[in-house]
Chains A and B, each alone.
Chain A
Amino acid sequence: MRLVTGLSFPTDGGIELFGHVGERKLRMERKRIGSMIEYPTLIPDMTAKEGLRHHRIMRGIPDKEVEDELPELYQTATDFIIIHKGVIKKILTFEQLGEFCRHHILIRCNEPEKLVSILETELKTTNFKVMPDKSIRLYDYLDEVERVAKAIFDHGIMVTNLSNEGDTLESYFLSTIGGDRNV
């Protein structure tokens, strides 16, 4: 692959690409190849989308809309494997990934059953999930945490955690590999 992509040179023999030989023609034909050898190009100080823009500019692709196709590609996948430096860090389904990345208010308290009742009756929402450890993920009122806190406090429930949680796909990837210092 390194020989075909021009990163190394053959000590013997020749290379033919799409029926073409010769350094100049090989260069032209390499424009038809998409390749990622060993590691992807990740540029520090750039988000994934900015990295995509950098490559679009570098390859001379004028259509800016291709930058928005990254999220679309991500939505068509059914399973995700997080690989870092050649090691599989995590395998998860689209639903699991969505669950990890979905923004929510994480509530831990001493009376989860009573809290469920308050969410349904007082805050009029069923858009929450009770987790196996009895914590509750509330997907509504993300910008009104104070209102949620007041409703809970008014009913005398002791809260041990009340925080906004959830990741973007990129920050979830970074947290899985142990932070951006490891990229």
Chain B
Amino acid sequence: MFNLIHADLYSLRKSNAVRIAFCITCLTAAAMVIISYFMAKGSISSEISGNASALCDPMVMSMVGSLIAGIFICGDFQNKTIHDAIAGGCGRSTVLISKAISYFIVIAVMLLPYAIATVIAFATGSEFMPYLYTAFFDILANASGMDLTAEVFLKITAISVTLMIVYAAQLSICVLFSFLLKRPTLVVALGIGSIMLITMVMGLGDDFEIIESILSLTPFAMNYPTISMEAAAGDLIKAISSSLGFILLILGVTYAGFRKAEIK
């Protein structure tokens, strides 16, 4: 399995699409912080917050994550890398788990610019206006007026790592789509569509209480306010365990579909 992960990371490192996606997350992270800064100063009207929300991590990660799943996993079906792994004696479960781990590592790397931009912005001590309810904006808002001490830095790191796991869990549905559909366009469309749909259903709140209570146990409910600067260690552990459970569930379903599937 380590060989497969190593090979996957090597091919991802060579992929122009992944490099471009990383550049996009770097740019959007920087833009998010800059817009938030100028909004706080009053130089930019808060009316653009609707459009600017497209630069925030929930929107960008759902798009970039779905895109990478389409290119990386479906691409490996198309260029026969998965065929070679299986013909070379790797089990289907090994292929699935190694692909999922490589994919989650890339997701973590894609979120890294947001974490770094947030830490740098936090360290400046400037005022920022949160125009969307996200964990990174909660850190930026710095409602308690904290300084960047070692303890605060560790807390931000813990929040960032938790968010990486949460996003990996949310985007694990793209792994399911990729292994079952094997078509990049379908995976990208379904990935973005389903994440948006679930977010919308959660936003409806009171009207769908049962659905909302079920979804509250999934990683889709594990951004703000569960993860924030006020979150205790227990909250972060709850988010991580819920995400890991969701990943296991999705990978189990994926394996059930992929175990005896013919690979064309």
Contact = CB atoms under 8 A, between A and B. Distances in A.
A134 interface: no
Interface in B64-94: 75, 79-81, 83-91
B89 A41 contact: no
Interface string A44-58: 111000100111011
A138 B178 CA distance: 52
B83 A7 contact: yes
B7 A6 contact: no
Contacts of B83: 5, 7, 37, 41
A55 B260 CA distance: 25
Given A43-B79, A43-B81, A45-B15, A7 B7 contact: no
Contacts of A29: 89
B3 A60 contact: yes
B237 to A, nearest CB: 35
Interface string A25-39: 001111101010101
Contact of A6 (B3, B75, B80, B87): B87
A19 to B, nearest CB: 16
A14 interface: no
Given A27-B89, A29-B89, A31-B89, A43 B3 contact: no
B181 to A, nearest CB: 18
| Chain A interface, >50% SS class | loop
B75 A44 contact: yes
Contacts, number: 77
Contacts of B11: 43, 46, 54
Interface residues of A, number: 29
Interface of B: 3-4, 6-7, 10-11, 14-17, 75, 79-81, 83-91, 260, 262-264
A54 B86 contact: no
Contacts of B15: 44-45
Interface in A1-19: 5-9
A43 B11 CA distance: 8
B14 A50 contact: yes
Contact of A35 (B10, B87, B91): B87
Contacts of B262: 7-9
B87 A33 contact: yes
Contacts of A58: 3-4, 6-7, 81, 84-85, 88
A64 interface: no
A44 B11 CA distance: 9
B79 A42 contact: yes
A55 B83 CA distance: 12
Contacts of A33: 87-89
Given A9-B260, A45-B14, A45-B16, A55 B84 contact: yes
